[in-house]
Amino acid sequence: MRRRSFLFSAAAACGAEAGGELLYNGIRLPESWPPRAASLSSEPPPAPGYLIHPPPVIPIDLGRQLFVDDFLIESTNLERTYHSAEYHPATPVLRPDKPWERQDKGRNAELWGPGIAVSVYSDGVWYEPRERLFKMWYRIGYTLSTALAVSKDGVHWEKPVHDVVPGTNVVHPVGRGSSTVWLDLEETVPERRYKMVSSTSHMQPQRLFYSPDGVHWSAEITRSIPCGDRTTVFWNPFRKVWVTGIRDMGGDPLGRVRRYWESRTLAGALRWKDGEPVWWTAADRLDGVRADMQVPPQLYNLDAAGYESILLGAFSIWRGQPEDRSKPNEVLLGFSRDGFHWARPSRKPFIPVSERYGDWNWANVQSAGGVCLIVGDRLYFYVMGWAGVRGTVRPGTGTVGLATLRRDGFASLDAKDSGQITTRKVTFTGKRLFVNVDAPSGELRAEVIGESGSPVSGFASKDCLAVSGDKTLAPVRWKNGKDLGKLAGKPVRFRFLVNNARLYSFWVSSEESGASRGFVAAGGPGFDRTYDEKGSNR
């Protein structure tokens, strides 16, 4: 059995014995899952229980270990900085330049005018390893249909003609509102490699379709009961469940909120009854209000995906509906280690709207299904953007933008001079330590602290060869030339001594390549599986 499968099996077995599922990171879920609350609140929720009472020993075999919260940190005097993505110079990377990408009639066209638009309204942007292509499913107009664009580099996109609607790149000629497309690399039935969950409008059912190639889609497989628009689905690879985030209304001042429903199958994730999905998450007062509107924020949408050792959430926050501007939604981030509770330590926009009229994203900005891709040392985030029409609520022209971030770059622990961080007790089965560090004018050293509280002989900071430079994958080595193999399975702490540098993540790998075995969200060039088995894909 592969080491990765063994880890999941062992955790599941331990959870069964205790009556509650034991996760890959040592967190044990309560026996009754998911948790059921009577309501949601506009007050910030308390910190997830796993941050208040972390496991006594944290297994770190799965994925790069990110410092987005204090889960891994026992003590530090470093300063944490949260980073936002930056728009790529080529943005917008997809524009409405085909005659069929215009909607003159139908729902919303009479109210808002012609829908000259392409948009990832969740939909999905994925890397298909079989074809070595980026693929983007997107909405045409306001509600017309779903089309497919492809790219070799994720920046320059083409719209290949297909036979579904001859002469166009339309692949699903069904009126739609929100939609999610998922490339399922774990699917064993070829006809179900691609999955689509789509609805036509508010308070309509979510409908499931399958496809072997993302172009030719099946007839409807199943449908949910009617639910709110912007209801979306995602695969939680840590627990191997499909999750539906159901858009509901939480009353004043919450407005749009999310309910939660999970199933081992995607069809099951659409088969809920009234009252079964539990309250999940909402915007709160920390999301802030716009000075020009003073309207409580709402959670317009939530897309999520497994990234390395965390569940990454893209929260589209609604800021209100001005009388003279289309709604200025923007994307913020959340992080979860149990798949349900979110830590949202930074409330600054991760991918913002523009405040300058005439920009492609002056109005509505929302995320894509799959959330992000790994492209070399960068993460690629695709978002829809509406230009708006000044003095009206019309969305204007819709395009797709690209924002990028350093790999693992959500948060860093920084030292302008010198500082250190000591982790909680961890265990691992690998033998090579790696870090993601930005130290062009500084350095990082590491040491391994044993049960006695002292550095393990040969693995003290004085024995460590300093790491310098700006590297998203850097091996940490010691003067004795030995690896950490003899410490595998033993509880230890890592201490990182940082001088004029930023530390983003660390992990222990079994391989010289630095493969983390963590999940890779929507994939990227070089990744053939749902997880990192190569280390670097540059």
513-532 pLDDT tens trace: 999 999 999 999 999 999 99
Question: What are the strands, taking DSSP E only, across 141-266?
Answer: 145-151, 157-158, 170-172, 179-183, 194-198, 207-211, 222-223, 232-236, 241-249, 256-263
Partners of 89 in beta bridges = none
How confident is the model at residue 450, as a pLDDT?
Answer: 97
CA separation for the pair 448, 33 (Å, rounded): 37
Cα→Cα distances 329→65, 234, 298, 434, Å: 30, 21, 10, 38
| Mean predicted confidence (pLDDT) in 4-11 | 44
Q: What tens digit of pLDDT does each residue of 274-300 get?
A: 999 999 999 999 999 999 889 999 999
How confident is the model at residue 3, as a pLDDT?
Answer: 46
Look-up of token digits 């003290």: 460
How confident is the model at residue 10, as a pLDDT?
Answer: 39
| Mean predicted confidence (pLDDT) in 242-255 | 96
How confident is the model at residue 536, as a pLDDT?
Answer: 77
Partners of 451 in beta bridges = none
Rounded to a whole number of angstroms, the distance between the first and last alpha carbons of the chain is 29
b/e map 359-384, b = 16+ CB within 10 Å: bbbbbbbbbbbbbbbbbebbbbbbbb
316 token code pair: 């589209």
How confident is the model at residue 18, as a pLDDT?
Answer: 52
CA separation for the pair 392, 323 (Å, rounded): 7
103 token code pair: 């909607």
Three-class secondary structure of residue 31 per DSSP: coil
More confident call, 167 vs 10: 167
Q: What tens digit of pLDDT does each residue of 407-445 get?
A: 999 999 999 999 999 999 999 999 999 999 999 999 999
How confident is the model at residue 108, as a pLDDT?
Answer: 87
For the chain, what is the largest distance between any 2 Cα atoms, rounded to a whole number of angstroms? 74
Q: What tens digit of pLDDT does each residue of 309-328 get?
A: 999 999 999 999 999 999 99
Q: What tens digit of pLDDT does each residue of 118-127 get?
A: 999 999 999 9
Q: What tens digit of pLDDT does each residue of 382-392 get?
A: 999 999 999 99
Cβ(78)–Cβ(444) under 8 Å? no
The whole-model pTM stands at 0.96
433 token code pair: 């330590």
Cβ(135)–Cβ(214) under 8 Å? yes
Q: What is the DSSP letter of 168?
A: B
The domains of the chain, with CATH numbers, are 1-33 (no CATH), 56-83+410-520 (2.60.120.260), 86-99+180-406 (2.115.10.20)
Residue 533's CB is within 10 A of a number of other CB atoms, namely 16
303 token code pair: 């897309």
Three-class secondary structure of residue 10 per DSSP: helix
CA separation for the pair 307, 333 (Å, rounded): 13
Burial of 132 (0-12, 13-18, 19+ CB in 10 A): exposed
Question: For residue 183, is pLDDT > 80?
Answer: yes
Cβ(135)–Cβ(522) under 8 Å? no
Model confidence at 5, pLDDT cuts 50, 70, 90, reads very low
Question: For residue 337, is pLDDT > 70?
Answer: yes
| Mean predicted confidence (pLDDT) in 399-410 | 98
Q: What percent of the chain has pLDDT over 90?
A: 93
- Nearest to 372, CA basis, from 157, 120, 196, 187: 120
CA separation for the pair 123, 139 (Å, rounded): 8
Question: For residue 6, is pLDDT > 80?
Answer: no
| Mean predicted confidence (pLDDT) in 162-173 | 98
CA separation for the pair 157, 97 (Å, rounded): 12
